[in-house]
Chain A
Amino acid sequence: QAKYKERGTVLAEDQLAQMSKQLDTFRTNLEEFASKHKQEIRKNPEFRVQFQDMCATIGVDPLASGKGFWSEMLGVGDFYYELGVQIIEVCLALKHRNGGLITLEELHQQVLKGRGKFAQDVSQDDLLRAIKKLKVLGSGFGLIPVGGTFLVQSVPAELNMDHTVVLQLAEKKGFVTVSEIRASLRWETERARQVLEHLLKEGMAWLDTQAPDEPQFWLPALFTELHSQEITPEEAKEAIP
């Protein structure tokens, strides 16, 4: 019994020592890689996607910690964490208008504007990855798939499958009516009403009672051409109390 246990101890300790050595070697390899290709990661969004996918495949999260090797040596961490800050600021600045829902496209535009001419290029994939990391902060960051793209949620509002489906329906025209929901989704009026009321309460939908046939529920998040107000980076910063 005792002997078996002893061997077990040695094995585990050995492996730990082995891991320590391998870690040192890996660190050196990564440094070399960084010296040659760090620019590639900085400048090339497609390469970043490849990089992230490969990490995911082998079970490694390069963005888990700013203290990780990947972050330290390739600078990927700072890139995404700073992007996270910019995303939070944009969402906060526009929340009063769209209730905490914004299309990925609009978010992308606003973030690029805030970053200025000389900053690195940022792709939509980059935004998605940054947002996924922000979830853990508990303020309700989430992604809702609509019409081939995403709506970014930045408030802790409860949005279940029913709400998501109605948002997807509204994506085509920017608004939706009870009749449309009944026709497309085969729901009863009451169910449609409840969902729309919830979106109204959360400030994500606005009610147009003057529409010709029946009230229309508009989603400001989906207004693309109607943007008149431009948020400057200063305004965005001020939005954080």
Chain B
Amino acid sequence: MDRFSWTTGLLELGETLVVQQRGVRLSDGEEKVKFDSGVLLLSTHRLIWRDQKNHECCMAVPLSQIVFIEEQAAGIGKSAKIVVHLHPASSNKEPGPFQSSKYSYIKLSFKEHGQIEFYRRLSEEITQRRWESIPTGQAMQVKRGSQAGRIRAVGIVGIERKLEEKRKETDKNISEAFEDLSKLMEKAKEMVELSKSIANKIKEKQGDITEDETIRFKSYLLSMGIANPVTRETYGSGTQYHMQLAKQLAGILQTPLEERGGIMSLTEVYCLVNRARGLELLSPEDLVNACKMLESLKLPLRLRIFDSGVMVIELQSHNEEEMVAAALETVSEKGSLTADEFAKLVGMSVLLAKERLLLAEKMGHLCRDDSVEGLRFYPNLFLTQS
């Protein structure tokens, strides 16, 4: 490990990136060192290792220092490795992590695979010895006063190299992640098929599934995100989880509801609850499914759906029809009101203000005047002045 020198990790002019691999650990001969998790880059000229957590920790060894390389296959609990045998360090070598070492070889452990490809490329580069024919210039260096010893390369070339590095790293990571994802999806697909089969049996009443088992089945579906094929209801509605959630909501929403006149739209509730949680947020469907259970669980809140499709949570004690009477008074006082005006007066959201006025209209208390200037509501004089 004493052959390495600290470096910026930026490629020099004339130097080309060949391959890189994440998740590589360095060892000094047989001994572990603290360089546990890094990106290993192979260029036409050097072998570079950069710490994944601390990008400033970056070191390299020239390929010309390599005597020969060996492969070490993976074993149980052991990653595949490449052993790199090196010439002794030259006397004018730049400073690196180690001053001296009792080993003349290092080991590269590929914790996230990629050993085979890397070995192949490294062999090629050692054979071709491209570093001998391509001279490298130093990238321009600008020393930053405040960061002593840190050198930055300036210019298009440096930037392009960095972008290419990033792109290649991303591609490599993606392809591996994608492979793993595909395998995972295969397994998930099996579960989907199995759940369909079970659902069919339930439907055709082949076998009495007890209620307990039905509940279990629903929770399995919920975990996997599979639509409930029996009832066609949205994902696992009516599970234990949603029951608990409903009870929680009843507790959380009591005060906010009281502060807002006893009624809130479901979008308001969604935002309120999730902002309060910070983590482990509820999905919109979780919220709706829990709210659907409020009434049957005899909780002090209920879900109400207006004709327009707008969904609200009301306190049980809240009586929208009574609020309508109050709304009628307000409108009468002002002669006429739009939803916006009413909302401002009463201190409600425009959405709910509109619903209340529409309800009042439905009940016959208000009349509408629908023009391009907006929707305006008047007391229904046809009813009162007969």
Contact = CB atoms under 8 A, between A and B. Distances in A.
Interface of A: 5, 8-13, 15-16, 18-20, 22-23, 25-27, 29-30, 33, 36-37, 40, 44, 46-47, 50-51, 54-55, 57-72, 77-78, 81-82, 84-85, 88-89, 95, 133-140, 155-156, 197, 200-201, 203, 207, 240-241
B276 to A, nearest CB: 11
A161 to B, nearest CB: 18
Contact of B201 (A12, A44, A88, A137): A12
Contacts of B274: 81-82, 84-85
B226 A138 contact: no
Contacts of A26: 187-188, 191, 224
Nearest to B370: A201
B249 interface: no
Given A19-B198, A197-B372, A81 B282 contact: yes
B309 A5 contact: no
A70 B225 contact: yes
Given A85-B274, A138-B311, A23 B267 contact: no
A68 B223 contact: yes
Interface stretch (B39-47, B59-67, B283-291): B283-291
Contact of B194 (A22, A57, A60): A22
Interface stretch (B13-21, B28-36, B172-180): B172-180
30 contacts: A5-B206, A8-B207, A9-B206, A9-B208, A12-B198, A13-B209, A16-B213, A18-B194, A23-B220, A33-B184, A60-B192, A60-B225, A61-B227, A64-B236, A65-B236, A65-B241, A65-B285, A66-B281, A66-B283, A81-B281, A136-B284, A138-B267, A138-B305, A139-B311, A140-B310, A156-B310, A203-B374, A207-B372, A240-B268, A241-B260
A23 B283 contact: no
Contacts of B201: 8, 11-12, 15
Contacts of B372: 197, 200-201, 207
B119 interface: no
Contacts of A22: 187, 190-191, 194
B280 interface: yes
Given A40-B173, A68-B224, A156-B309, A133 B285 contact: yes
Contacts of A37: 177, 180-181
A47 B213 contact: no
Contacts of B184: 29-30, 33
Interface of B: 112, 170, 173-174, 177-178, 180-182, 184-185, 187-192, 194-195, 197-198, 201-202, 206-209, 213, 216-217, 220, 222-227, 234-236, 241, 260, 265-268, 270-272, 274-275, 279-288, 305, 308-311, 347-351, 370-372, 374-375
A201 B299 CA distance: 39
B220 A20 contact: yes
A60 B224 contact: yes
Given A12-B201, A137-B288, A65 B283 contact: yes
B210 to A, nearest CB: 9
B282 to A, nearest CB: 5
A16 B212 CA distance: 12
B122 to A, nearest CB: 24
Contacts of A30: 184
A12 B206 contact: yes
B174 A55 contact: no
B346 to A, nearest CB: 11
A240 B352 CA distance: 12
A134 B311 CA distance: 12
Given A60-B192, A81-B281, A139-B265, A12 B202 contact: yes
A19 B185 contact: no
B197 A36 contact: no
Nearest to B308: A156
Given A50-B181, A85-B274, A137-B284, A61 B349 contact: no
B270 to A, nearest CB: 6
Contacts of B235: 61, 64-65
